[in-house]
Structure 1
Amino acid sequence: MARRKKGRKVHGWLILDKPYDYGSTEAVSRMKWFGEAQKAGHAGTLDPLATGILPIAFGEATKTVPFVQDGIKTYRFTARWGVRTATDDREGEVVEESAVRPDREAIEAVLPDFIGTIEQVPPQFSAILVNGERAYDLARDGEEVKLKPREVEIDSFDLIDMPDADHAVFEAVVGKGTYVRALVRDIAEKLGTVAHVSELRRTRVGPFGEDQAVTMEEVTGHPVSEKIPADARDHARFDEHLVPIGDAMADYPKEKVSSFEANRLRSGQAVMLTPVRAKALRAGEAGLLDVVLAEDDSGEVALCRLDGLALQPSKVFQLG
């Protein structure tokens, strides 16, 4: 007999504004515990020193995590010129210093070199696996970690402010796998100096932005540093901050299906669309549509692919 899972069947996304000095896993665990949710996951780790958007998926929403994780991300961050650290952020030991402080003209002149498809070597202190071990674990043990460069996409990279000679504030819109710490390291090298990230905030992940974000205090009614008694968990308060599963698929095509079609999809069977419906869904794209969100009047039904006129379910949502 299967063991019954503990907790509630909670489905949806919580767009958390993660506080400083709080790990992503720790934040997910706190929110899962407060909402007494059976299942949770997140779309994109944030370092403890970083703040900002940490989308947390609960229940059936976890099936849409890869689509959010693969979306573009926007970061606002501050480079501290003249000081390089072992971790490329302010948490690390200082390993090199420079008297060079680039001016606005010099910085703006090199920014175009970091836009588009570029090669980037991830920081030694990163979660990349090296022979089965995390790079940051090897680096902490004093081993020299040589990571291979990889291609990343930078949609935009702008200088926002220069509050003083030692600091410059940037905003960058980047693709999956981009390290802001590596961006700062590399632009400093290009400018003939060294630098590290002194502040970092993520303002968007895929379809989720700051306008949807809530703090831990707003969700729980308790300060981040305070231990919450178990009997103070408020399900209604937690649930009112969840956004629908379908919000994660804002950039993907959607198809409204009837209750009969929804039942077929939920049972793993294909639904045949009329040529008019299929053409409208493709919106000019030929061939296979890999991801389509099927919805009925009650909500999300399934993630599907459209092959010809056949809408084939690939992941079905069990929202009951």
Structure 2
Amino acid sequence: MSAPKAPRQRIQRRALHGVLLLDKPLGLSSNDALQKAKWLLRAEKAGHTGTLDPLATGLLPLCFGAATKFSQVSLDADKAYEATLRLGQTSSTGDAEGEILRERPVALSREQIEAACARLTGEIEQVPPMHSALKHQGKALYEYARQGIEIERAARRVTIHALDILDWQHEALTIAVRCTKGTYIRTLAEDLGELLGCGAHLSALRRTASGPVHVRDAISLDALAAMSETEREAMLRPPDSLLADWPALRLDGQETAKFLNGLRRRVAAADAPHVRVYGPDAQALLGSASITAGELIPGRLLSPQEVNSLLSA
């Protein structure tokens, strides 16, 4: 008779507030990466800022506690990627996981590639790929794709701010992309391949930036796991790191209380669609807001308890 299993030790969760810049590894889903980091930090509340495919690596900002109130900011932010394309082959999924559907010879000059990149720079239309997490009637498109069902998708307008060649070795082309949210890099790879006349699919993808944060400041799960709990907690950036490219506004003590109660205030500041608002202490983030016609309009607000937690951290 086998010995009874020892009971699993329950992890004591705790309230943490901040942003962890994670360098997500290859093969792990965004949610799996989030759960591993949440477990390592023993955090009560956490969320990520937009899905990064398992086949992609790179920057995945994770929000904890009060920072989760600003996760949409990172989701809506411009992104930057390094993408490697396999020229001469198209696949059923638009990436290296799919079945190769067609092969064509690759006979290109750098000038041809640069011209094709220029044609895809600026505002363009993209049809979302079937192998994506976009929902149709409550179900992800990739679920339909796995059943062999094709769903009609409307084209979306996105903006490619920059599309530059990083490296080109005959059939392997690596590009740097800066783009608006909602851009499908695998679709961009396919479109570029068609413009070049040889076809292409995405063979590797790495996110390098999201809004004001960059992968050079990110940490891997392995490095995080090797740290002490104190060191892990020290890796958390303040919640306003996701708002770092917004203008800042500081309120005095009396105005702080009114703002945290959701009251609009008159302010001597220029109109702005997004501002980060602080109390008398420069570290006391109160929340986000907009300014219209000199009126400060509260957006996402921290609770007094969250503000105090950030001040005492």
Change (3 A) 1:220 1:166: same
Is 2:114 the partner of 1:108?
yes
- The answer as to whether partners of 2:83 and 2:175 remain within 8 angstroms in 1 is yes
Counterpart CA distance in 2 for 1:135 and 1:51 is: 22
Q: For 1:165, which of 159, 163, 170 is the aligned residue?
A: 170
Q: For 2:276, which of 293, 314, 317 is the aligned residue?
A: 293
Counterpart CA distance in 2 for 1:290 and 1:104 is: 41
Question: What is the TM-score of this pair, normalised by structure 2?
Answer: 0.88
- The answer as to whether partners of 2:126 and 2:187 remain within 8 angstroms in 1 is yes
Write the mapping of 1:198-213 to structure 2, written as runs, cut at 5 A: 198-213=203-218
Segments of 5+ residues of structure 2 without an aligned counterpart are 1-11
SS at match of 2:222: helix
SS at match of 1:34: helix
Write the mapping of 1:176-255 to structure 2, written as runs, cut at 5 A: 176-221=181-226, 234-255=228-249
SS at match of 2:142: helix
Q: Report the equivalent of 1:229.
A: none
Is 2:13 the partner of 1:7?
yes
Q: For 1:304, which of 280, 283, 289 is the aligned residue?
A: 289
Q: Report the equivalent of 1:71.
A: 77
AA aligned opposite 2:264: A
Shift of residue 16, structure 1, vs aligned partner? 0.5
Counterpart CA distance in 2 for 1:115 and 1:128 is: 24
AA aligned opposite 1:256: R
Q: For 2:55, which of 19, 25, 49 is the aligned residue?
A: 49
Shift of residue 11, structure 1, vs aligned partner? 0.8
Is 2:260 the partner of 1:266?
yes
Per-residue Cα deviation, 1:270-298 (whole angstroms, up to 9, x for no partner): 3443xxxx2xx31xx5xxx3322111214
Figure out how many residues of one structure are paired with residues of the other and give that number.
292
Per-residue Cα deviation, 1:203-258 (whole angstroms, up to 9, x for no partner): 00111102321111222217xxxxxxxxxxx4312211011111111121211122
Counterpart CA distance in 2 for 1:249 and 1:26 is: 25
Counterpart CA distance in 1 for 2:294 and 2:194 is: 54
SS at match of 2:116: helix
Taking every aligned residue pair, what percent have the same amino acid on both sides?
35
- The answer as to whether partners of 1:108 and 1:159 remain within 8 angstroms in 2 is yes
Counterpart CA distance in 2 for 1:186 and 1:169 is: 15
Segments of 5+ residues of structure 1 without an aligned counterpart are 1-5, 223-233
Counterpart CA distance in 1 for 2:107 and 2:32 is: 37
Shift of residue 137, structure 1, vs aligned partner? 0.4
AA aligned opposite 1:139: A
Counterpart CA distance in 2 for 1:183 and 1:304 is: 34
RMSD: 1.7
Change (3 A) 1:19 1:270: same
- The answer as to whether partners of 1:101 and 1:166 remain within 8 angstroms in 2 is no
Q: For 1:141, which of 147, 152, 161 is the aligned residue?
A: 147
Q: Report the equivalent of 2:5.
A: none
Write the mapping of 1:121-140 to structure 2, written as runs, cut at 5 A: 121-140=127-146
